[in-house]
């Protein structure tokens, strides 16, 4: 049985942390913790998360109906409930607007992989949803295509949502993501992003599995270059997501790898890559023809 008052104190503590980090300006953001099969503690609407007290926290059921509390629950609690319904093991959800990760949400720029070991271990591939007006059922359902494959999601033109076994873990994923997005921006300003090789990425995913974390890339890209692909690319067209600033690293391994690199390159570079691939193909064919003549 959860100590409800202690959980309310924990929610207030995380609220102060996201406010002090600049992740939730004014009354932005919302936090929930599931304390029983049909009870969820929820932060109130129109209230700064930096100055919450346990008395401010309300209770809702799994349908979003408020059952206790003197202040009205957040309208965005419906998104949290979709996560709890899809992932019964999840006990807490944190939504806020961390500025660097939200910049990727506004640009609809996919977050690069194969750059930072800690991000590969704790986050993995991070998706971006399609945009819907916050607060309603359609908005809540934007996370459903991704909720089982990750613990942190970027909400297009809005912010982030992360979830875990308790409120602190749910918050951690957001803090890791925003720090990473800031590092990417700083490195881009220096003029270069250096990527892991595929073999080093696979070493990290092996370590991740040993630590008890699952990763869909182990199945989806068992025979593909992990760094030049993304689990969520099929969702990009519907979400308006496109590589504009951070290119994927060149794929490794023969003609197939070069073709993948061409498909991920900016339009200005595609002609050069296609020419390179054509030359390699023609060279291989000429070599095979010479062997046959001999």
Which structural domain range is residue 14 located in? 4-190
Is there a single domain that holds both residue 277 and residue 172? Answer: no
pLDDT at 249: 80
In a domain, residue 201? The reply is no
Domain count, the chain: 2
Is there a single domain that holds both residue 25 and residue 145? Answer: yes
Residue that finishes a domain, picked among 174, 190, 206: 190
Q: What is the CATH number of the domain that holds 176?
A: 3.40.225.10
* Confidence (pTM): 0.84
Is there a single domain that holds both residue 283 and residue 176? Answer: no
In a domain, residue 20? The reply is yes
Tens-digit pLDDT profile for residues 226-271: 788 889 999 999 999 999 999 888 765 433 344 444 444 444 455 5
Residue 207 has pLDDT above 80, yes or no: yes
pLDDT at 226: 79
The pLDDT confidence band at residue 272, using thresholds 50, 70 and 90, is: low
Residue that finishes a domain, picked among 152, 171, 190: 190
Tens-digit pLDDT profile for residues 38-92: 999 999 999 999 999 999 999 999 999 999 999 999 999 999 999 999 999 999 9
DSSP conformation letters of the chain: ---HHHHHHHHHHHHHHHHHTTSS-TT--EEEEEEETTEEEEPBTTS-GGG--GGG-EEE-TTS-EEE-SSPBPTTHHHHHHHHHH-TT--EEEEE--HHHHHHHHHTPPPP-SS-HHHHHHT-S--BPPP--TTSHHHHGGGTTTTTT-SEEEETTTEEEEEESSHHHHHHHHHHHHHHHHHHHHHHHHT--PPPPHHHHHHHHHHHHHTT---THHHHTTTS-STT--TTGGGHHHHT---SSSPPPPPPSHHHHHHHHHHHS-HHHHHHHHHHHHHHHHHHHHHHHHHHH-
Is there a single domain that holds both residue 47 and residue 157? Answer: yes
Q: Are 233 and 218 in contact (CB under 8 A)?
A: no
Is there a single domain that holds both residue 154 and residue 283? Answer: no
Is there a single domain that holds both residue 256 and residue 168? Answer: no
In a domain, residue 122? The reply is yes
The pLDDT confidence band at residue 214, using thresholds 50, 70 and 90, is: confident
In a domain, residue 208? The reply is no
In a domain, residue 10? The reply is yes
Is there a single domain that holds both residue 20 and residue 115? Answer: yes
Is there a single domain that holds both residue 109 and residue 19? Answer: yes
């Amino acid at each position: 049985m959860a100590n409800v008052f202690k959980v309310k104190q924990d929610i207030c503590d995380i609220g102060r942390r996201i406010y002090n980090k600049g992740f939730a300006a004014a009354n932005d953001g919302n936090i929930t913790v599931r304390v029983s099969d049909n009870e969820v503690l929820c932060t109130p609407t129109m209230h700064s998360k930096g100055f919450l007290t346990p008395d401010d926290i309300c209770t809702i059921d799994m349908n979003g109906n408020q059952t206790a509390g003197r202040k009205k629950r957040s309208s965005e609690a419906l998104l949290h409930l979709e996560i709890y319904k899809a992932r019964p093991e999840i006990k807490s959800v944190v939504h806020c607007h961390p500025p660097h990760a939200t910049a990727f949400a506004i640009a609809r720029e996919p977050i690069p992989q194969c750059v930072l070991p800690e991000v590969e271990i704790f986050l993995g591939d991070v998706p971006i949803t399609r945009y819907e007006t916050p607060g309603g059922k359609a908005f809540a359902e934007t996370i459903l295509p991704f909720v089982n494959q990750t613990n942190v999601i970027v909400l297009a033109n809005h912010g982030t949502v992360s979830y875990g076994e308790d409120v602190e873990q749910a918050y951690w994923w957001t803090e890791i993501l925003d720090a990473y997005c800031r590092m990417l921006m700083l490195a881009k300003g220096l003029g270069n992003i250096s990527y892991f090789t595929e073999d080093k990425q696979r070493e990290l995913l092996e370590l991740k599995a040993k630590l008890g974390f699952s990763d869909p890339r182990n199945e989806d890209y068992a025979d593909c270059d992990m760094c030049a692909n993304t689990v969520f690319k099929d969702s990009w067209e519907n979400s308006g997501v496109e590589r504009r600033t951070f290119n994927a690293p060149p794929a490794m391994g023969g003609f197939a790898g070069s073709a993948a690199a061409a498909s991920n390159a900016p339009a200005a570079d595609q002609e050069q890559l296609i020419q390179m691939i054509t030359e390699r193909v023609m060279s291989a064919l000429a070599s095979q023809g010479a062997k046959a003549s001999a």
